[in-house]
Amino acid sequence: MRAMWSMMFLLVTVTLSAQEAAPAAAENTSGSENSTPGQAVVEPVVPPAPSPMTREEIEALVEKKVADRLAAIDEERKKEEERQQAEAKKKEEEAKKEAEKKAPPKSGVNDSPGLMTPSFSKNTLSFLVGDDNLRDNSQYSPETDIGPKDDYDNFMNRFLGYSNRAKGMTRLSLFHEDGGLISDLTARIGIAFDLEHAFDTTYFVKTNLYEGGSFIEIQYEKDFLIKVTAWPYDSDRMAVGFFPGLRWGTRAAWPQNLGFVPGAQLLFGWGPVSVYAGFKAHLQPLVDKLSEETVPLETTYGGFGGVTYKDHGVTASLQGAFIDKGDNVMVDEAALRRSKDDEILSFGLDLFTQYEWKKPIGDPLGITSWNNGEWREPDYDGPLAARARGELIFLNELLQNADHLAWAGGEDAVTVEPITKNFWGMAAAVEGAFRWEKLRVFGLFSWRSLSFLVFDAPGLIPFQTFPEHAKIRDELSGSLAVDYNWRMLWFGFSTGIKTPASYLAPGSTRTTVVKDRLTANAKKVFTTRLREDLPDGANPLNIAFYAFTIKAQLTPAVAAAFQLSFTKDSNRSKPVPDPDTGNNVLFWDDEKTRNILSFFVSLEGRF
């Protein structure tokens, strides 16, 4: 190209040289014509000649033209290169997205469709030290101890699933994931164990090893999703409900639980909609069992299912379950006309909805986790974010009718009242949260009926409905939490008030306060005081708490936390020994027992 422009420059130079010689030739011609005698001279009309340019000016002009053209060519070449690079980058990004879509996820956590909790559980090791009540030292308030201490916990965190319950918990999980011989097929295997430490009634620390939800999972995902998950031992990760405080259908739902509830589920997802169905199996005594008596065993089943829509920040889910709990151990079958009349059949329906605006809000500050040793950190991208969610659940089962005395009155009394009666349990919760820059605010209101709180027991009096004239009060609670993030630190304050559920039997003067959900097979931890009988004629009083928490995310795997809390619960007594008999008697006027000041310091690792 440069050679071509050099040739043009040479031609122009030659032309300019010729133009310089032309005026002299014209001058000679004109002189010869004027010298011809006798001939008229006719002057030709010649246009005015342009202003002459020097050689240097013409060369400079040509050089400028050449330089401008070369610059234009270079600019076009650069634009073409940029266009080609942009197209190559776009093709690379499209290829990467297509590869990510086809490749199996590497996290092992896929909990979006069906509102199922993650199959995979992380390894965790927790160190926590503290004092349950700085103002009181007794058998109910050991210093710097370990083990579950439900009674002293922030009931907002407990309802949302983040609490300090497992003070001495270690979780070990072996996990493997790989692609299949079929394209778009993924297989996952997880083996999990929980190691828990707790005091027993003899003040010795006992260490128990629990199976922690081992699973086998097969997933096919292309234009749609099909996922099959099987839990060989413990299928608690499949249950109905979102808030842990409302969740139902774990192995605690079987009153005669033997600790072995295998299950499996099939999930199908297409776009924003997913549908799942599953089952659980439970082995338990076939008939009433007395003490160490050997009786035949039977297998009972539970069926689960639900549909979920999730798109554009909106989540809506309807789930349900049916569980056969087997024989009512409190009913003498010899007095029944039909031996199946005491079979406990239960079912539940749950409706959950959520709207999340902008980035995820995350979870309130908590010491440890309810299900996976994991705290969902908020996304602080953008100045504003908000979330609103609500849930309604109702349960039903057939229990022994507390107003029926047929087994005491003979066959004629059977026609007076049915031996079984529907036992309804209902609950609901509404939560709102918003974030402004690094400041987050959470508000929670919940209502849980007394029958819901004792549904898995089942009944406050085991396997029996409430009498018709019993005085029953449901639980109402509201709480507020605020926290601020600065670099790797969170500073939080939370407070709440609860009107506890209570029960007063007909003709009785002693009210029973139920502070949280009861189960028939709860671990026998003597410091867990979720129910308490008040003195004669006393009425239940509200419970309030105030908590200050600091959390530090030291590394992605290690977090530290400090919590100082004050709980005022006047529905508490202190057992003290009688000087005459040595037996414990309840002492109610101890402010150190009712006004609880506690602190915890934790260091938790997870990977």
Express each pLDDT in 265-316 by its tens digit: 999 999 999 999 999 999 887 766 666 677 788 888 999 999 999 999 999 9
Per-residue pLDDT at 60 exceeds 90: no
Most confident option among 237-241, 392-396, 526-530: 392-396
Of 72, 101, 130, at which residue does a domain stop?
101
Please give the average per-residue pLDDT across 75-81, as a whole number: 87
Is 32 within a domain? no
Is 327 within a domain? yes
Domain count, the chain: 2
Is 325 within a domain? yes
Nearest to residue 307, comparing CAs of 75, 447, 116? 116
Cis, bond preceding 458 (omega within 30 deg of 0) = yes
Asked if 117 and 6 sit in the same domain, the reply is no
Asked if 157 and 230 sit in the same domain, the reply is yes
pLDDT band of residue 140 (cuts 50, 70, 90) is low
| Cα separations in angstroms, 505 against 320, 324, 405, 467, 576 | 32, 28, 16, 7, 27
Q: Which of 54-63, 292-301, 445-454, 518-527 has the least mean pLDDT?
A: 518-527
pLDDT of residue 466: 92
3-state secondary structure 26-78: HHHHHHHHHCCCCCCCCCCCCCCCCCCCCHHHHHHHHHHHHHHHHHHHHHHHH
Nearest to residue 279, comparing CAs of 324, 334, 335, 345? 324
Of 101, 130, 161, at which residue does a domain stop?
101
Asked if 436 and 542 sit in the same domain, the reply is yes
Asked if 11 and 139 sit in the same domain, the reply is no
pLDDT band of residue 116 (cuts 50, 70, 90) is very low
Assign 3-state DSSP to the chain and report helix, strand, coil percentages, each to 5: 20, 40, 40
Asked if 122 and 87 sit in the same domain, the reply is no
Asked if 114 and 237 sit in the same domain, the reply is yes
Please give the average per-residue pLDDT across 402-424, as a whole number: 63
Phi, psi of 274 (to 5 degrees): -140, 150
Q: Which domain holds residue 215?
A: 103-606
Is 44 within a domain? no
Q: Which residue has the tokens 């003709």?
A: 507
Nearest to residue 156, comparing CAs of 492, 600, 550? 492
Asked if 12 and 154 sit in the same domain, the reply is no
Q: Are 464 and 402 in contact (CB under 8 A)?
A: yes
Asked if 85 and 169 sit in the same domain, the reply is no
Per-residue pLDDT at 454 exceeds 90: yes
Q: What is the DSSP letter of 139?
A: T
Higher model confidence: residue 494 or residue 329?
Answer: 494
Asked if 270 and 413 sit in the same domain, the reply is yes
Most confident option among 98-107, 337-346, 442-451: 442-451
Asked if 91 and 132 sit in the same domain, the reply is no
Asked if 64 and 174 sit in the same domain, the reply is no
Per-residue pLDDT at 119 exceeds 70: no
pLDDT band of residue 35 (cuts 50, 70, 90) is very low
Q: Which helix (H) or strand (E) holds 117?
A: none
**CA pair distance 550, 495, nearest whole angstrom:** 15
Q: Which of 172-176, 272-276, 406-410 has the least mean pLDDT?
A: 406-410
**CA pair distance 431, 500, nearest whole angstrom:** 19
Of 101, 125, 154, at which residue does a domain stop?
101
| CATH value at residue 366 | 2.40.170
Asked if 120 and 7 sit in the same domain, the reply is no
